[in-house]
């Protein structure tokens, strides 16, 4: 079950990324923009620079998406989606990321309309994924973004690697629930990769339904940030460009909420 990539083989450049200074002007700009608009797009070059990820490191991280498990709940909606799920604690005071015990995924009321009150049992993150220095660096970076929105003593980060698959016969729905919120403070989507996929347009709305941002995440490392308390989001279906082959879209969705 574990990845062959080996979480213990921490790439030095990724390990260095744990110390993104709060004063980094790109981080400061992202925090400011998120507070001002409720949504912000971080270009891939900025994200990977902040994470300190070299090309070979990214490829190693990307390989975790070849080891996801079936999402039986999405399958009930007719969508082929693979995923895993894990929870971490992070505090600004210590900047320490701590993996929490396995638990079902439950979304609060006033969030995802398909799954309110539904406890979903999902495949856990592999050990190597949970320990991957790129994931740990991403959690620290997102934690520093989240503190622009709120300042609890501890945050709970929920980590969802997703692969949505489309075929000639069936579009792939990244968000089968349609437009929704996740019932958290910060919601983020990091594009890991796309293959043979058209569509997959991300849209973010204010509570009155006004469209704040529409973007197709197409460059690996592009990071979409949203203040989930005052926005809703959705992603349109993907379909194969070459209809004789399947298409897929890989993303890492991470949410932050007060612990």
Binding site for Fe ion (CB under 5 A): 182
Q: How far is the CB of 90 from Fe ion (least distance, A)?
A: 20
Q: How far is the CB of 180 from Fe ion (least distance, A)?
A: 6
Q: How far is the CB of 103 from Fe ion (least distance, A)?
A: 18
Residue number of the CB atom closest to Fe ion: 182
Nearer to Fe ion among residue 167 and residue 236 (C-beta): 236
Nearer to Fe ion among residue 182 and residue 250 (C-beta): 182
Q: How far is the CB of 189 from Fe ion (least distance, A)?
A: 8
Nearer to Fe ion among residue 23 and residue 110 (C-beta): 110
Q: How far is the CB of 172 from Fe ion (least distance, A)?
A: 16
Encode the chain in three state secondary structure.
CCCCCCCCCCCHHHHHHHHCCCCCHHHHHHHHHHHHHCEEEECHHHHHHHHCCCHHHHHHHHHHHHHCEECHHHHHCCCEEEECEEEEEECCCCCCEEECCCCCEEECCCCCCCCECCEECCCECCHHHHHCHHHHHHHHHHHHHHCCCCCCCCEEEEEEEEEEEECCCCCECCCCCCCECCCCCEEEEEEEEEECEEECEEEEECCCCCEEEEEECCCCCCEEEEECCCCEEEECCEEECCCCCCEEEEEEEEEEEEC
Nearer to Fe ion among residue 31 and residue 158 (C-beta): 158
Nearer to Fe ion among residue 30 and residue 235 (C-beta): 235
């Amino acid at each position: 079950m574990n990845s062959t990539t080996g979480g213990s083989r921490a790439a030095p450049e990724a390990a260095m990324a744990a110390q993104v200074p709060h004063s980094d002007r790109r981080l400061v700009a992202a925090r400011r923009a998120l507070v001002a608009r409720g949504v912000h797009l971080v270009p891939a070059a900025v994200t990977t620079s902040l994470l300190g990820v070299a090309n070979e490191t990214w490829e190693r991280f990307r390989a975790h998406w070849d080891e996801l498990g079936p999402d039986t709940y999405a399958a009930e909606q007719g969508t082929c989606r693979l995923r895993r799920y894990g929870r971490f604690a992070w505090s600004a005071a210590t900047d320490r990321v701590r993996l929490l015990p396995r638990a079902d995924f439950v979304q609060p009321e006033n969030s995802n309309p398909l799954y309110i009150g539904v406890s979903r049992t999902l495949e856990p993150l592999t050990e190597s994924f949970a320990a991957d220095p790129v994931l740990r660096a991403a959690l620290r970076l997102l934690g520093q973004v989240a503190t622009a929105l709120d300042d609890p003593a501890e945050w709970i980060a929920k980590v969802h690697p997703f692969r949505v698959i489309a075929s000639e016969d069936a579009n792939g729905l990244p968000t089968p629930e349609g437009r929704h919120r996740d019932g958290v403070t910060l919601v983020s989507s990091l594009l890991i990769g796309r293959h043979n996929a058209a569509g997959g347009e991300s849209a973010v709305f204010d509570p009155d339904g006004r469209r704040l941002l529409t973007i197709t995440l197409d460059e690996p490392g592009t990071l979409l940030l949203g203040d989930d308390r005052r926005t809703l989001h959705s992603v349109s279906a993907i379909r194969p460009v070459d209809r004789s082959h399947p298409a897929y879209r890989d993303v890492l969705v991470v949410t932050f909420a007060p612990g």
